[in-house]
Amino acid sequence: MNGTPAIPAPRGIPLVGNTPQIPPDRPIQYITEVGRHYPEGVLSMEIGGLEQVFVADPDLAAEVCDEARFGKVIAPPLSHLRDFVGSGLFTARDDEEVWGQAHRILTPAFSQRSMKAYFPQMLDVAQELVRTWEAAGARPVNVSDDMTRLTLDTIGLCGFGHRFDSFRSEELDPFLQAMLRALTEVMNRTRHMPLVTRLRLVEDRTYQQSIRQMRQLVDRVIEQRRRSGETGRDDLLGLMMEATDPVTGRRLDDANVRDQTLTFLIAGHEATSGLLSFAL
C-alpha cells in the first residue's frame, strides 16, 4: 500500500491464523524452527488475533534493540502478566512515570559493590545445592528443578533477605507452583482469542487463586522486613521501601513495591535458572 514490502508470513488457518499450529508445550522452539525457513531473518505470525513479528538474525535483533527507534510494547503475553505484576519494571509501559522512578531507585542494587555484598548469600545457597547433590550419591538429580531452587533462593535471600529454603523440600515451593500455574495460563491466554479466555471460568478461578497465593507470599516478605525494624539495607527491598527517586524526590508507593517485589522474584530466578540448566 505505501510501497513497504510485507513481512513474510507462514500460511495460517482462516480466521484463527497461526495459533493452532503452535504446540502449547514448545512455542519458542516451534517459532525458531519456522524461522529457519525465512532467510531474510524476519517473519510475522498471527497469534491470538494479533500480528506478531519475530526476528531470527543477530543484526536484526541488534536493530530492534535500538531504543531510539523502537519502544517496549506491552502486548500479550506481557499485558497479561500485568494481572499480577502490574507496573513492575518488566511490564511497565513506556509512558508510565513509575518505570523511571523504580529504575533510578533500584539501579544501585546492581552496582559492582552490591554484587560483592551479595556474594556470601550466593555462596550460602550454592553450598546448599552442593550438599544436596552430595547426599544424592549415585541417585540421579533433577537439574532444572534444582537450578530453580538455587536461583529462587538466591534472589530471595540477596534481594529480600527471605529464605525459601527450597532444598529442604522434595516439592517445589508453593510460590513456584502458583507462579508456574499463572505463567502457563498467561501463555494460554496469549494463544486464545479474548472470548475464549472469558469462557474458561474454571481456569480463571485457578488463575486468580494462584495470583492471590503469590501476592500473599510477597506481603509476608514485606511485612517481615517492616516488623524487623531494620533500616538502611541497600538490597532491593530496602531500596524500594526507603529510597527516594533522585529526580522526582518520590518514593515508590506500597502497591508498586509489591508489584516490583513479585517482578524481581519471578524475573530474578526464571531466566537465570533456565540459563544454568542449559549450561549444565
Neighbour tally for 255: CB within 10 Å? 11
Smallest distance, Å, CB 89 to ligand HEM? 4
Pattern 112-151, ligand HEM, x by CB under 6 A: ----------------------------------------
Smallest distance, Å, CB 258 to ligand HEM? 14
Decide: 261 and 240 in contact? Cβ < 8 Å. Answer: yes
What is the C-alpha to C-alpha distance for residues 39 and 108, in angstroms, rounded to an integer? 42
Q: Is residue 90 part of the contact set for ligand HEM (CB under 6 A)?
A: yes
Decide: 4 and 53 in contact? Cβ < 8 Å. Answer: no
Per CB under 6 A, which of residues 167..226 are in contact with ligand HEM? none
Q: Is residue 240 part of the contact set for ligand HEM (CB under 6 A)?
A: no
Q: Is residue 53 part of the contact set for ligand HEM (CB under 6 A)?
A: no
Smallest distance, Å, CB 96 to ligand HEM? 11
Q: Contact with ligand HEM (CB under 6 A): which of 37, 103, 131, 205?
A: 103
Q: Contact with ligand HEM (CB under 6 A): which of 37, 72, 168, 226?
A: 72
What is the C-alpha to C-alpha distance for residues 28 and 68, in angstroms, rounded to an integer? 27
Give the SS3 label for residue 46: strand
Residue with cell 554484587: 115
Grid cell at residue 56: 531470527
For 24-37, letters b (16+ CB in 10 Å) and e give eeeeeebbeebbee
User: Which range of residues in 16-24, 137-145, 207-215, 268-276 is near ligand HEM by CB under 6 A?
Assistant: 268-276
Smallest distance, Å, CB 271 to ligand HEM? 3
Q: Is residue 64 part of the contact set for ligand HEM (CB under 6 A)?
A: no
**Of the two residues 196 and 278, which places its CB atom closer to ligand HEM in the complex?**
278
Q: Is residue 52 part of the contact set for ligand HEM (CB under 6 A)?
A: no
DSSP codes joined into one string, 231-273: ----SHHHHHHH---TTT-PPPPHHHHHHHHHHHHHHHHHHHH
Smallest distance, Å, CB 91 to ligand HEM? 8
Q: Is residue 86 part of the contact set for ligand HEM (CB under 6 A)?
A: no
For 130-161, letters b (16+ CB in 10 Å) and e give eebeeeeeeeeeeeebbbbbbbbbbbbbbbbb
**Of the two residues 148 and 263, which places its CB atom closer to ligand HEM in the complex?**
263
**Of the two residues 43 and 155, which places its CB atom closer to ligand HEM in the complex?**
155
What is the C-alpha to C-alpha distance for residues 126 and 147, in angstroms, rounded to an integer? 10
Q: What is the CA radius of gyration of the chain?
A: 21
Q: Contact with ligand HEM (CB under 6 A): which of 22, 74, 129, 155?
A: 155
Q: Is residue 156 part of the contact set for ligand HEM (CB under 6 A)?
A: no
Residue with cell 524487623: 228
What is the C-alpha to C-alpha distance for residues 232 and 185, in angstroms, rounded to an integer? 38
Smallest distance, Å, CB 101 to ligand HEM? 11
Decide: 41 and 60 in contact? Cβ < 8 Å. Answer: yes
Per CB under 6 A, which of residues 247..266 are in contact with ligand HEM? 263-264
The residues binding ligand HEM (CB under 6 A) are 72, 89-90, 103, 155, 263-264, 267-268, 271-272, 275
